[in-house]
Chains A and B, each alone.
Chain A
């Protein structure tokens, strides 16, 4: 997406830096600041206005943002995912547009699954992680009764990291998923 022009490359560096900041913040404190999310969203809209004209750029950006929000918002409503993660993804989706946001959500979910299994192995031992993943493949319902709550921060997976991996993969290598 960013390759091909100096403006694109510059935008890519800004996008990557902002996502890296979100990752670091999430890894260290399990929080993604609203200021960072706002910067991502506004700069994403500005980037699209630079690529297209203003009205098309805003539309492309807002469409991506709404799709990004639509994918993850239900998980916040269920209490599964932090609002910081949802806003982080929606803000970054302003750069990607509808199809980019969809691809990034797919890539991020897969990255999130891998991160979760690795985290489970790190937290509770490889045996538990493998057992839990195997059981989940046959009976996904067992996952609906987790052994930790969202208040138990020590056990929480820094999901923003997985979201950023998905977003960066799609932004730098577009259409690697057939969506």
Chain B
């Protein structure tokens, strides 16, 4: 738990905006793979967020 808190803290604190050249090339391959996988599940993700939105609106209208 403490490790996770440290990780989050360093993520917030760190402001570096750079990449080692070799990793820059490797990232292209990995991101394209990741995007193709995500695009396959795109409708599921959009539906998921839409459901949350509908539920939130339902909550709003039931509380007023």
Contact between chains at A26 and B26 (CB < 8 Å): no
From A161, which residue of chain B is reached at the shortest CB distance?
B17
Number of interface residues of B (CB under 8 A): 36
Interface centre among A99, A116, A123 (most CB of B within 10 A): A116
Contact between chains at A156 and B18 (CB < 8 Å): yes
Contact between chains at A109 and B28 (CB < 8 Å): yes
Measuring CB to CB, which residues of chain B are less than 8 angstroms from any residue of chain A? 10-32, 34-35, 38-39, 42, 45-46, 49, 52-53, 56-57, 60
How many A-B contacts at CB < 8 Å in the complex? 163
Measuring CB to CB, which residues of chain A are less than 8 angstroms from any residue of chain B? 22, 25-26, 30-34, 55-56, 59, 63, 67, 71, 75-76, 80-88, 98-99, 102, 105-106, 108-110, 112-113, 115-117, 119-120, 123, 132-133, 136, 140, 142-150, 152-153, 155-160, 179
Contact between chains at B20 and A148 (CB < 8 Å): yes
